Structure 1
């Protein structure tokens, strides 16, 4: 059975997949900016609903992106922990009030404001992650390269990004295959092994992986050189599709969401304060 990969394209028959690469890129940027400029809880909850609905439309299952979700949760927990450790009064400073729930030690008081601030930080992650996963998992790398070129990015850069996105799943599959081969030869990588022993045994996987990767890069480079890549200033794109009605709807939705977030931020400020 093939190894499970992350950060790879997952083809589906869905409305999200049928959008052009340019539309998905523009919506991703608009949606990301909309979530970045505000800490208003109600705006973030609305964006979260849109994000989850878009994920549902894509027909991508949670188990297929579970690794990225778990990685995000671990990163989020560490982020909140460090916020609490280095600045336990950040919420109090931002909201201008102080309601202590209980005291831990030294200068560490757990306040309602701090917990509410960290809740909003967590919401921003949950808002952005589904759309980011969709952008990666629902966009063909060649289509993404065409979308970058359509907004003025050099086709050489766009093509390099496309190759990198196609190459990530290959590296993961190579790592899985080499790991299984080395374990069949008696190289232990399980949790029962001591940490430094596993670290030492990992070298026997990394070296063949590096050599295989360099060989693949050399093969791709030679093939592109033989085809005259980079000779002309422009190129055509096989994956570039014309805009349809659904693309205009998605772009309009992105503009509206960004406009709402920006308007509420300018009118009421970045932070919704329930403590006043």
Structure 2
């Protein structure tokens, strides 16, 4: 398995050249804007920005293909289960009921429920590209240096850096162990029954856990031998100063968040946009 999922690959473009601190602030602002508001107009606007930034980053589809498949399945399940367990929640929120067509008993498709579920689906769809951008375009060491510079403990910053670095290593180890087990006759194909495949996957997870524990011990010993944590401060090789592009990105993210909050508070008088009144 040579997947590039969660792996950082250095590139030279406007998104990659932003500071890790800038990307964190932008990710938080855009996420809060989407999570705070249930106005589908605002969410679509943020989703469009997410797609534009994603295209600007020049990330290859092969890097995110697996993630997109999982997200699509999650969104589909979420959409179906929301209707199964709360088929009238939209009418309760908006206070009206415009029936499109009945199904059975309390399961009635209404415009209100459809708007609520589409809004909810778009909230996830607008956030995921930003998360992908943050993970795939941020150098872990530079990100740790950036958040340490604003006052976060360098121990916590270093822990975040190690976490970001660990994702691609974990996926790589899983692929290596999976290939090794399959060469020994472990079948993970669709020819096997679902229960057998799950059991075989567990046979991969067990050595993966032990290899992870070995790596943790190895890194901990290496950090102790180098005196990590002895001093209150440290210098960073990958530190990157904030430039004009960083300030533009931060201001844009704050403006988007502020506009979303103002529309909800002053125009809609609620987190929900109600076109049915």
Shift of residue 203, structure 1, vs aligned partner: 4.2
C-alpha contact (below 8 Å) 1:7/1:168 kept by paired residues = yes
Gaps of 5+ in 1: none
Please report the TM-score for the alignment, with normalisation by the length of structure 2.
Answer: 0.94
Shift of residue 206, structure 1, vs aligned partner: 2.7
Provide, for residues 165-215 of structure 1, a one-character-per-residue CA deviation record: whole Å limited to 9, x for no partner: 212211211221121122112222211112333233334423332232222
Please report the TM-score for the alignment, with normalisation by the length of structure 1.
Answer: 0.94
Provide, for residues 9-38 of structure 1, a one-character-per-residue CA deviation record: whole Å limited to 9, x for no partner: 232221011001111111111111111111
Q: Partner residue of 1:173?
A: 172
Q: Partner residue of 2:73?
A: 74
Moved more, 193-202 or 108-117: 193-202
Q: Provide runs of 4+ in structure 1 moved above 4 Å.
A: none
- Measured at CA, do residues 185 and 232 of structure 1 come closer, stay the same or move farther in structure 2, by a change above 3 Å? same
Does 1:272 find its partner at 2:255? no
Gaps of 5+ in 2: none
C-alpha contact (below 8 Å) 1:10/1:60 kept by paired residues = no
RMSD of equivalent CA atoms: 1.6
Q: Partner residue of 1:45?
A: 44
Shift of residue 220, structure 1, vs aligned partner: 0.9
Shift of residue 266, structure 1, vs aligned partner: 1.1
Aligned residues between the structures = 275
Q: Partner residue of 1:243?
A: 242
1:16 aligned counterpart, secondary structure: coil
2:102 aligned counterpart, secondary structure: strand
Q: Partner residue of 1:213?
A: 212
C-alpha contact (below 8 Å) 2:29/2:257 kept by paired residues = yes
Pairing 1:1-276 to 2, within 5 Å after superposition = 2-269=1-268, 270-276=271-277
Distance in 2, matches of 1:66 and 1:9, equals 15
C-alpha contact (below 8 Å) 2:146/2:240 kept by paired residues = no
- Measured at CA, do residues 24 and 86 of structure 1 come closer, stay the same or move farther in structure 2, by a change above 3 Å? same
2:16 aligned counterpart, secondary structure: helix
C-alpha contact (below 8 Å) 1:98/1:111 kept by paired residues = yes
Shift of residue 83, structure 1, vs aligned partner: 1.7
C-alpha contact (below 8 Å) 2:6/2:63 kept by paired residues = no
